A and B are shown apart, each in its own frame.
Chain A
Amino acid sequence: MNLDILLVGVLAIFGIGLYGLLITRNLIKVVVALQILVKAALLALVAAGEASNQLNLSQSIAMTVIVADTVVAVIGLALAVQVKRVLGTFDTTLLSKLRG
């Protein structure tokens, strides 16, 4: 696999994730955008491992990243669900002030 093309693709995916974070108003879309960012990071990590001939090390680190990112998604979604239950909305522009 040509690593240069892959890296260009990774940058594009990363950019899409960032763009999603900048543009979204919905709490669940925030979690979606974060997941896309992490997929791009995983690809970059394994690509680096392949380039420096340390594939197993990068795989081990990638496992840790997947676990951490899944836990983040779980807790993010739980928080979003709670926010919807208590405050009634997913819209971040309405959630901009901390209420007691």
Chain B
Amino acid sequence: MTDILIILAIGLPWLGALAVWLVGNKRPEQQHLLAVIFAVAAGLAALLLIPSYSDAAELKIEVGSVFGDFTFVPDGLGVFLAAVATVVGSLAVIFSVDYMHGDAELGRYYALVLLFIGSMVGLVLTGSMLLLFIFWEMTALCSYALISFYNDDPKAVEGGIKALVITSLGGVGMMIGALIIYAYVGSYEISDFLADPEALPSGVLGVVAFGFLAAAAAKSAQVPFHTWLPGAMEAPSPISALIHAATMVNAGVYLLVRFYPAFEDVEGWTTAVILVGLLSGLLSALMALVAQDLKRALAYSTVSQLGYMVYAVGTGAIFASQFHLLSHAVFKALLFLSAGAVIHSVGTRDMRQMGGLGKQMPFMRNVFIVGALALAGLPILNGFWSKELVLEGGLEEGPVWAYAGMLIGAGITALYSFRMVWLVFFGEPRGTTHAHDAGQYMKLATGILAVGTFTTWLLAGVFGELLEDSLPYHHLEVETGTKIIEDVITAPATLVALGVVALGLLGWWFRKPLSGIAEALSPVGDAAANDFGFEAVNRQIVHWTKEAATALRATQTGYLNWNVVGIIGGLIAVLVILVLGA
């Protein structure tokens, strides 16, 4: 039964992609319907999979002895993320029924979205490193195709290519690590590697560990590889919600969590992870504070929250990290979808031209406020519980300077969330277009997510139990749900964090009197607006690559005979290596 559910969870979206493509663009109503049906069916399959979790490979496809078996292991980590991917995916598809209404190329859109959902489920459920890489690259491909969906807009195409290049380079790093592991352990199975990480000599293990960290940082848009995520905001908003907030960017954190038992003893690795998380969390919070584009601010916010998750992994609080992943997926998808509704009606992404939309779009204002409060970390909402757990774990196990940084980050988070809400929905209307409230499907999707924001923290106990039972190498000890809640409420760290959040909120409310401080800090603000120089580094690298390519063009003479000389020369080199090595 479990193996059928796994096949359904991965295969239904792929079937849906094929069906939507075959129906053709002349029948958009059918395309919408088919996409929603297949996405929801996949969500049901994934949800039904949760009770049947186990740590054994439930689905094994044998493809001969060269590549090992293609295994799928529905352990606690995998089934929860699969459920998140499919449920948030179906909500994004429902939202797209209104958002993409009237678009001429729905077939391409829905096919890619459904292909992506299937690949994401495959990524988190697989137990073979080879399949992990294949699904990793499939999600990168779908992400690129969807970012450049409006392919007559050069900015969209540029954003897509940037995302593809950075995440694929990370993927190559991961493949090389996986091949090194295969060379020493003799198998592509992740569980075989986790059972015996000593098979790799410590230097090699270090190389693999840092390689995986780089791959995860590239995929999850952590500093210094974060430059692709703001550029990816050219995608339609449901895509931003699904891929760049709730699922694909979590793949990097998932990778770190999955391989944590093998790498935690590598010298300097956990410190490096904490550092990456800290820098991402803090720097991108600052960048979100000064962003003028609504989606850009949300993108930086995503980078910042992912930084929290990475920081939690670094300090060993695996459960807190994954719990925050769950909460973040829900409230960030909510924020992106409601922002998408606002942008769809107003026609611009610039926050300076919005304002006072609360009266014209009451439903969206309410759900956006719910999401923003969860992001800031107000009690009762799911963001509060998970962020407190992360910070507590950091205080207990990690260095104090990192904790202080993350705490300041939490305050800045509250500050920019409130800023976003204020600039968009309150104050005097600065724009000229009259905004109409969102369509019914948009309201449905965002409403469900808002309810989720209030309730998913109740699943903490269940989630913890799943993780503890089915991840044998991680040695997790998670308490029951009620105990977690008790812990969070009574810990002193919570009060400190709440205080900082309140400071952040008040800081915006009293921004006029505090404008002196804002003036003093404006150099930092300017640096943040320029992406702290990372964007400039990107442009420089692109420039050098183009120059090198132009210089190397001289070697391509085009004459067949010289090409054959090159081939034979290469063959001679290979033969010499073989003779010497034999």
Contact = CB atoms under 8 A, between A and B. Distances in A.
Interface of A: 18, 21-25, 30, 92-93, 95-98
Which range contains the number of B residues in contact with the other chain?
under 10
B568 A30 contact: no
B564 A93 contact: no
B559 interface: yes
Interface string B538-578: 00000000000000000001111100110010000000000
Contact of B559 (A18, A21, A30, A93): A93
23 contacts: A18-B564, A18-B568, A21-B561, A21-B564, A22-B561, A22-B564, A22-B565, A22-B568, A23-B561, A24-B561, A25-B561, A30-B560, A92-B559, A92-B560, A92-B561, A93-B559, A95-B558, A96-B557, A96-B558, A96-B559, A96-B560, A97-B558, A98-B558
Contacts, number: 23
Contacts of B568: 18, 22
Interface of B: 557-561, 564-565, 568
A93 B561 CA distance: 9
Contacts of B559: 92-93, 96
Contacts of A98: 558
Contacts of A97: 558
A13 to B, nearest CB: 16
A22 B568 CA distance: 10
A33 to B, nearest CB: 9
Contacts of A92: 559-561
B571 to A, nearest CB: 9
A97 B565 CA distance: 18
Contacts of B560: 30, 92, 96
A40 to B, nearest CB: 14
Nearest to A18: B568
Nearest to A33: B564
A70 to B, nearest CB: 22
A41 to B, nearest CB: 13
Nearest to B560: A92
9 tightest A-B CB contacts, nearest first:
A96-B558, A92-B560, A21-B564, A96-B559, A22-B564, A22-B561, A97-B558, A93-B559, A18-B568
Among A22, A23, A24, A30, the most chain B Cβ lie within 10 Å of the Cβ of A22
Contacts of A30: 560
B561 to A, nearest CB: 6
A79 B140 CA distance: 36
A21 B150 CA distance: 46
A98 B556 CA distance: 12
A14 to B, nearest CB: 11
Nearest to A30: B560
A1 B561 CA distance: 36
A74 to B, nearest CB: 20
A74 B365 CA distance: 67
B242 to A, nearest CB: 40
B486 to A, nearest CB: 69
Nearest to A27: B560
